[in-house]
């Protein structure tokens, strides 16, 4: 069966490649362009394949796009986000970042691996399920969703959250967030981003008062002292199964600003602190540890005031390593590649936690082969697209059949 399906998918590789090129050539950088162009391209491709797409938007300029086949009560969802990060310095790229150039079997471009190739694979898996008659549409339904605003911090109300709130993923018994990967991803670490703002007192840097410590409070050095303390802050947390190679990390100063003029002692400084939480780790405990350091350092510098604002917060999440969805995905990799992909959690956060919290078991990363996400020369291996389509197809077919059998036994 898999050999037949692979041949059927490989025949469509030129179509998949052209569609992926179209998506990459439609810039959708978060905060710069909207995702509307990508959503309309997906809708047009869905129509060409014989499906009807639905656009759903809380922000009219930023529509999510959903393509569903089947009308049955038990469903499955493929999720991929339609926004990207910025391309950075174009001169750092071998080819222009939105050219979608094909070279040595790879397609290069911003968003190729993260996350537009996964969207392509999900849509073509839907076509393969229908064309090969692999599921009974009266019993099941499968949805492919292209969601907006993931790159803003994976906590947006506009994308996955909106679909869940509106009941558009109702009936989903499982899901795959179709990131490019080489693991069966059971979950991800959490994210906590904190903004520290320091307020001091300005004075002329050439004044006698400043020379003798009789005026002025340097907000930049005061904040720097806090950041240096945070760099060595120990935040112990246990690693659940699948997360053994990861730990809680705190990175101070991923963004930083301060000072007003060359000859003024800086009265303002601001820095962002990025914290990656282990599943089950308390963000309140981490915030309390940061606040203790702030209190200690401001006590050493009378007059310095430092405020703390939580910018983003989302939990780590995971499904069990022996969940049927995980087992089927690993078996699919063995059958397709000859090697069982490792089962593990991901370091970066994504919106998988929203689905898991909603009661939808989710692989938080499983998809085509690619690399250099958020970096120059982002790429996806074109030969992996049909392989991924077949793996998606086999996973959803077998998983929904298992769900159906379990329901009949329990009824």
What would the pLDDT profile of 88-124 be if each residue is shown by its tens digit? 999 999 999 999 999 999 999 999 999 999 999 999 9
Beta strands in 180-327 (DSSP E): 183-188, 190-199, 249-258, 268-277, 305-314, 317-318
- The pTM of this model reads 0.91
DSSP single-letter state for residue 340: P
| Average pLDDT for 379-396 | 98
Residue 2 has a pLDDT of 72
Q: Return the CATH fold of 2-188+316-410.
A: Aminopeptidase (3.40.630)
| Average pLDDT for 322-349 | 96
| Average pLDDT for 247-261 | 96
Cβ neighbors of 101 (< 8 A, separation 6 or more) are 95, 107, 108, 109
Residues above pLDDT 70, as percent of the chain: 99
Where does 197-314 sit in CATH, by number?
Answer: 3.30.70.360
Residue written as tokens 């907006």? 148
What is the number of residues in the chain?
A: 411
Listed residue (396, 339, 382) closest to 134, CA to CA: 396
Pairwise CA distance, residues 322 & 310, whole Å: 35
Residue 408 has a pLDDT of 58
Mean pLDDT of the chain: 96
**Residue 409 in this model has a pLDDT that exceeds 80:** no
Q: Which segments of the chain belong to CATH 3.40.630.10?
A: 2-188+316-410
Residue 404 has a pLDDT of 78
Helix axes 2-11, 13-24, angle to 10 degrees: 50
Residues above pLDDT 90, as percent of the chain: 95
Pairwise CA distance, residues 55 & 314, whole Å: 26
Interval 167-216: pLDDT, tens = 999 999 999 999 999 999 999 999 999 999 999 999 999 999 999 999 99
Pairwise CA distance, residues 346 & 237, whole Å: 16
DSSP single-letter state for residue 190: E
Residue 410 has a pLDDT of 63
Q: Which segments of the chain belong to CATH 3.30.70.360?
A: 197-314
| Average pLDDT for 390-395 | 98
Residue written as tokens 């019993």? 139
Residue 405 has a pLDDT of 73
**What SS3 state is found at 146?**
strand
Three-class HEC string of the chain: CHHHHHHHHHHCHHHHHHHHHHHHCCCCECCCCCCHHHHHHHHHHHHHCCCCEEEECCCCCCCEEEEEECCCCEEEEEEEECCECCCCCHHHCCCCCCCCCEECCEEECCCHHHHHHHHHHHHHHHHHHHHCCCCCCCCEEEEEEEECCCCCCCCCCCCHHHHHHCCCCCCEEEEEECCCCCEEEEEECEEEEEEEEEECECCECCCHHHHCCCCCECHHHHHHHHHHHHHCCCCCCCCCCCCCCCCCEEEEEEEEEECCCCCECCCEEEEEEEEEECCCCCHHHHHHHHHHHHHHHHHHCCCCEEEEEEEEEECCEECCCCCHHHHHHHHHHHHHHCCCCEEEEECCCCCHHHHHHCCCCEECECCCCEECCCCCCCEEECCHHHHHHHHHHHHHHHHHHHHHHHHHHHC
Interval 58-93: pLDDT, tens = 999 999 999 999 999 999 999 999 999 999 999 999
**What SS3 state is found at 69?**
strand
């Amino acid at each position: 069966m898999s050999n037949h399906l692979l041949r059927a998918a490989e025949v469509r590789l030129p179509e998949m490649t052209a569609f992926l090129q179209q998506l990459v050539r439609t810039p959708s950088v978060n905060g710069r362009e909207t995702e509307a162009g990508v959503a309309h391209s997906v809708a047009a491709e869905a129509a060409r394949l014989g499906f009807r797409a639905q656009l759903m938007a809380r922000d009219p300029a930023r529509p999510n796009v959903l393509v569903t086949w089947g009308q049955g009560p038990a469903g499955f969802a493929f999720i991929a986000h339609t926004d990207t990060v910025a391309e950075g310095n174009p001169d750092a790229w071998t080819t222009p970042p939105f050219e979608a150039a094909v070279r040595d079997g790879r397609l290069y471009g911003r968003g190729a691996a993260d996350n537009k190739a996964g969207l392509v694979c999900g849509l073509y898996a839907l076509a393969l399920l229908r064309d090969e008659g692999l599921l009974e549409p009266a019993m099941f339904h499968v949805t492919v969703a292209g969601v907006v605003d993931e790159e803003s911090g994976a906590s947006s109300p506009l994308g996955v959250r909106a679909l869940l709130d509106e009941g558009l993923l109702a009936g989903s018994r499982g899901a795959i967030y179709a990131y490019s990967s080489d693991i069966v991803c059971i979950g991800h670490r959490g994210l906590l981003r904190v903004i520290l703002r320091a307020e001091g007192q300005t004075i002329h840097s050439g004044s006698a008062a400043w020379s003798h410590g009789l005026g002025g409070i340097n907000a930049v050095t005061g904040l720097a002292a806090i950041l240096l303390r945070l760099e060595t802050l120990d935040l112990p947390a246990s690693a659940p199964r699948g997360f053994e190679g990861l730990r809680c990390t705190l990175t101070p100063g991923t963004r930083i600003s301060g000072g007003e003029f060359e000859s003024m002692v800086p009265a303002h400084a601001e820095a962002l602190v990025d914290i990656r939480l282990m599943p089950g780790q308390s963000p309140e405990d981490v915030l309390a540890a940061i606040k203790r350091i702030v209190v200690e350092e401001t006590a050493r510098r009378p007059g310095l005031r430092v405020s703390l604002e939580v910018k983003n917060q989302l939990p780590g999440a995971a499904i069990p390593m022996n969940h049927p969805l995980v087992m089927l995905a690993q078996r699919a990799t063995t059958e397709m590649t000859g090697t069982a992909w490792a089962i593990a959690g991901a370091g970066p956060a994504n919106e998988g936690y929203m689905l898991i919290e909603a009661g939808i078991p989710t692989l938080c990363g499983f998809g085509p082969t690619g690399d250099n996400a958020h970096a120059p020369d982002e790429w996806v291996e074109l030969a992996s697209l049909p392989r991924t389509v077949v793996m998606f197809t086999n996973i959803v077919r077998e998983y929904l059949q298992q769900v159906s059998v379990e329901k009949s036994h329990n009824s």
